[in-house]
Amino acid sequence: MALTEFDLIRRYFTHTARGVTLGVGDDAALVRVARGAELAVSVDMLVEGRHFSKGADPALLGHKTLAVNLSDMAAMGAKPRWATLAISLPKVDEAWLSGFSRGFMALAKRYSVALIGGDTTRGPLTLSVQIMGEVPPGKALRRDGARAGDDVWVSGYLGEAAMALEMMGGKGWRGLSKEDRRTLEERLHAPTPRVGLGLALRGIAHSAIDVSDGLIADLGHICERSGVSATIEWEAVPAIPLVRAHAQTDRGARGLLAGGDDYELCFTASPRRRAAVMAAAARARVRVTMIGRTERKRAAAPVTVLDSVGKPLKVKARGYDHFR
């Protein structure tokens, strides 16, 4: 017999969680916010055909749906605590639901996030998570905190997700080794949110953002909000050898600088705090790389990329006017 809406919620989306006064099952959940803490709140929606393709692995989708939200908490330096999940489903598909909730809950558990409620309705496949986290007052890592003369840093490696997206299904994709394909796919489908790094950078970074739209665009957001410009060095942008080699091509270069979906953190900090940044990264066990500097606001585009001889890089990138 087909599951009712309530069976479905009970079976797949009801979990006991410590530290929650009242979770799934009532008209609203009740949680206790740490005394004096600020609540960081963010919501993200994933739509089939737009953010993922039909037939996407449900467990990976469950992971990614939460991961992109955790990444927003990371970028704020907030400790993720609670999430709500709104799902629109074309039909009750138990295999799908079980995979999705497994992927979602595994990540929730890893970051001690409680699923405290949601909404379930019939419709085109759409997944929306609202996440809530705590941050001590005034300590959030905001986009508007960069100062001219800051170092610009980025965590991890960029460009893998963009390369996966670009090549999947095409000739280039078939030309890659199995291992390379797996590396790229994993980055696209199962990103690792840099929550620990975000927390470790509180009180050190002046500003932060997660790289979801592409490095140039996202660093551009910091610049605009902070009233500064930035110059970064092409050769310093961290990429694994596979991506670096692909970046010899125009499309590859564009993927590295302007591709999204990496979910690394881009942040700025005073040059006097380099040792503190490195120590924070070591504590969070994440690699960080200094890629450039912020400066007083210029009239031109907020972000300039310099090539190996210090010339502004022109990447043919129709649609991305950040490269003008």
Number of residues that bind ligand ADP (CB under 6 A): 13
**Which tokens belong to 124?**
């085109």
Cα–Cα distance between 249 and 295 in angstroms, integer?
29
Distance CA 94, CA 96 (A): 5
Q: How far is the CB of 147 from ligand ADP (least distance, A)?
A: 42
Residues 6+ apart with CB under 8 A from 94: 3
In the complex with Mg ion, the residue whose CB is nearer, 7 or 119, is 119
Q: Which of 62, 99, 117, 191 contacts ligand ADP by CB under 6 A?
A: 117
Q: Which of 5, 7, 94, 119 binds Mg ion (CB under 5 A)?
A: 119
Cα separation of 68 and 62, whole Å?
A: 11
Nearer to ligand ADP, 12 or 267 (CB): 12
Binding status of residue 321 toward ligand ADP by CB under 6 A: no
Mask 10-49, x = binds ligand ADP (CB under 6 A)?
---x----------xxxx----------------------
Of 109 and 316, the one with the shorter C-beta distance to ligand ADP is 109
Beta bridge partners of 84: 117, 130
Stretch that binds ligand ADP, among 117-125, 209-217, 234-242, 272-280 (CB under 6 A): 117-125
Residue selected from 66, 87, 240, 303 as contacting ligand ADP according to rule CB under 6 A: 87
d(CA 225, CA 81): 27
Please report the beta strands in the chain, taking only residues with DSSP state E, as ranges in sequence order.
20-22, 30-31, 38-47, 79-89, 114-122, 126-135, 151-155, 205-210, 228-233, 265-269, 288-296, 303-306
Residue ranges binding ligand ADP (CB under 6 A) = 9, 13, 24-27, 85, 87, 115, 117-120
